[in-house]
Structure 1
Amino acid sequence: MTILNKILNLKLSNNDNTSSTSSTTPESISSPSTPSSTSIDQHIIDSGFEISDCSETCEDCTFHYPKSLKFEENEPLWHSTKPFGLHLNISTGKTDWPHDATGLKGTLSNKIANWASEKSGKTSIGNIKVTCSSLGNDELLIDDEYIQQKKGDVLILPYFLWIKGIYIDEVDEIFNKLLNIIDENNLYNKQTNQQQELKFETIKQQIPTIIEDENKAYVLFCSHKTRDKRCGITAPIMKKEMDLYLREVGLYRDFGDLTPGGVKIAFINHIGGHKFAANVIIYLKNTGQNIWLGLCKPNNVKPIVDQCIIGEGKVWPVKVRILQKFNPIEW
């Protein structure tokens, strides 16, 4: 209980990492405008999430990480990462990458990362996160342009959209259009003080190659072993445990299973905070919620599925790194 009390009594710092975030970016519980005297519990509730009244651990789970792994158990998770407005995941079919996963010049991932770096923080969307993911397709095995990373597929979160078969020289045009659509919607909502949902038809008209992802949720684990062995060891263990439970509740979707309404799990490269492994990033399609948890262990898997995913946004203050509420797309 010492750690819990420490976190719940934590005051928001005046030099908070989110100070540069525009008011039209997604609602984040780390908003610097929140009164410092308000507890983390209240921030969670005000941001459209619920505090779970269930334990974050499952007593039935007896699997443990290797004892050789050490984590930062005493440092508060709250505010240990920065908010972002867009997350672009490039499918690579891999579970580990070079130290700089997007650093190889002449590749699609490098082009997208450079585009995001140029645009981040310059519109209402705020920061743009780019990761490589383990998501894949047959083309990554048989198509030379995919294999050489001249062409690829990109999952756009939190909006559950795909751009498939995008070439390097199409990146600026396509993602500039997408950024403008989201930015205009954000600005309209701010100016009118209304919540106008983004419409898939509107996006499709301007970007004909965009398609819908029909999963209900994505769960992303950092597995970047080249950066830190803790991520490379914990991520596969967490995925295995989650796969087993998702099968029990009928939500498991493996490679190639396009049945709507499932939960897809993927590995991604470095996202910050290796000492907080296992890092778990969850996106919920219907609500637009983004949940980022840290220090997750196998005995947290069942509660995460039951509370965060099926329960649509129920969380535990002691596990939260950041929460964000995005404007979901109207399908």
Structure 2
Amino acid sequence: MSFFKNILGSKDHTKEIAEILPIAECKAECLASECHTKFPNSAEVKGADATADLWMSTKPYALHCLVSTGKTDWQHDATDTPLSLENHLSQWASNNSRVAGGTIKVSCSSLPNHDHENLTGDVLILPYFVWVKGCPNGQIGDVMSELVPKLKLAEKGKISLPKELGGVEIAVDPSHAYVFLCSHRTRDKRCGITAPLMKKEMDIDLRDRDLLRDFGDDRPGGVTVAFINHVGGHKFAANLLIYLRSGENVWFARCRPTNCKAIISETILGGGKVWPEYLRLAQRFSPVKW
């Protein structure tokens, strides 16, 4: 019997969720024999309350800024390194929620950092699918203060995206979707073990569909699966955040390799279809056609 069929006491939020995103009609799990990977016993979610209500167990946010670090694990507080791009960005975000129209989430990602001296860096801004490229660390706050209002205007069709701000390149990301998995082993061993296995399973299926985009492959319409630092709710590992170019933002939890095929087919390629029993958060943003 499915692990999730054993969940008792969880409230049914299907009606509420259906007002945001469509509900998938097919099963969320394939047979274990159809998977290439599986979680070892040591990586099973232990100590988690299987009856905990996942829905809205994390707060909505307006903007997600992901700093490219090329790493899969970070110090306990990933954005606390003084003078780093992520530290400057985090400080800016904590004081500028009004500019974005809501909370600004800042994460470190495994997306590659091309400056080995870490004096400049790249930031992916979601749900806008926009890059800030090669920004000097101390300049990121000024760039974001100028860029975010322009993104809000572009969302309303009132302005086009600038190609540079203050000498820093601004570029559109051509991807169909991004998938982020928490791999922050320093914060929780479960994430460090489960995230690579989830990525392997997703990569295999995406490669079979010719949709997998490894770093440096910028063909349009693809899907990139990457790692990020702590996002909260380690007891719900594996946590999986999805951004679709069409505006959907989905946050699944308690995911396993047996869920990957269905997530790709129904959520990523099926217009954001979801399963309420796996869902922590669902948001629909206005898509921007760059």
Q: 1:164 to 1:205 in 2, by over 3 A?
A: closer
Trace 1:100-119 onto structure 2 (pairs within 5 A). Answer: 100-119=77-96
2:170 pairs, out of 197, 203, 210, with 210
Which residue of the partner structure matches residue 41 of structure 1? 14
Q: Counterparts in 2 of 1:1-331, with a 5 A limit? A: 1=5, 3=7, 6-8=10-12, 40-47=13-20, 49-59=21-31, 60-61=34-35, 63-71=37-45, 72=48, 73-120=50-97, 122-123=98-99, 125-137=101-113, 139=114, 146-183=115-152, 196-197=156-157, 201-204=160-163, 209-285=169-245, 287-331=246-290
1:3 CA drift (Å): 2.8
CA change 1:256–1:206 in 2 (3 A) is closer
Structure 2: distance between partners of 1:267 and 1:96:
9
Deviations 1:95-128 (A, max 9, x none): 00000111011111110011111113x3462000
| Partners of 1:57 and 1:300 within 8 A in 2 | yes
Q: Note the C-alpha offset of 1:179.
A: 2.4
Pair 1:205–1:259, CA change in 2 (3 A): closer
TM-score (norm 1): 0.80
Cα distance in 1 for partners of 2:165, 2:73 equals 35
The 1:109–1:79 alpha-carbon spacing in structure 2 relative to 1, beyond 3 Å, is same
Alignment length (residue pairs): 280
Deviation at 1:65, TM superposition (A): 1.1
2:30 partner amino acid: C
- Distance between the aligned counterparts of 1:54 and 1:131, measured in 2? 32
> What's the TM-score, normalizing by structure 2?
0.90
Equivalent position SS for 2:277: coil
Residues 29-88 of structure 1, C-alpha deviation per residue, up to 9 Å, x if partnerless?
Answer: xxxxxxxxxxx22222212x1100000001123742121234222211111101111111
Deviation at 1:202, TM superposition (A): 4.1
Give the whole-Å Cα distance in 1 for the aligned partners of 2:91 and 2:185: 23
Verify the 8 A CA contact 1:223 1:268 in the aligned structure 2. yes
Secondary structure of 1:265's aligned partner: strand
Post-superposition offset of 1:5: 6.5
Gaps of 5+ in 2: none
- SS of 1:166 mapped into structure 2: strand
Q: SS of 1:318's equivalent?
A: helix
Please name the residue that 1:13 is paired with. none
CA RMSD in angstroms comes to 2.0
- Do the aligned residues in 2 keep the contact of 1:198 with 1:329 (CA within 8 Å)? no
Secondary structure of the equivalent of 2:43?
coil
Counterpart amino acid of residue 228 in structure 1:
D
The question of whether the paired residues in 1 share the 8 Å contact of 2:38 and 2:197 is answered with no
Displacement after TM superposition at 1:6 (Å): 2.5
SS in 1 for 2:186: coil
Query: Quick one: percent identity of the two aligned structures?
Result: 46
Comparing 169-178 with 316-325, greater Cα deviation is found at 169-178
- Structure 1's unaligned 5+ residue stretches are 9-39, 140-145, 187-195
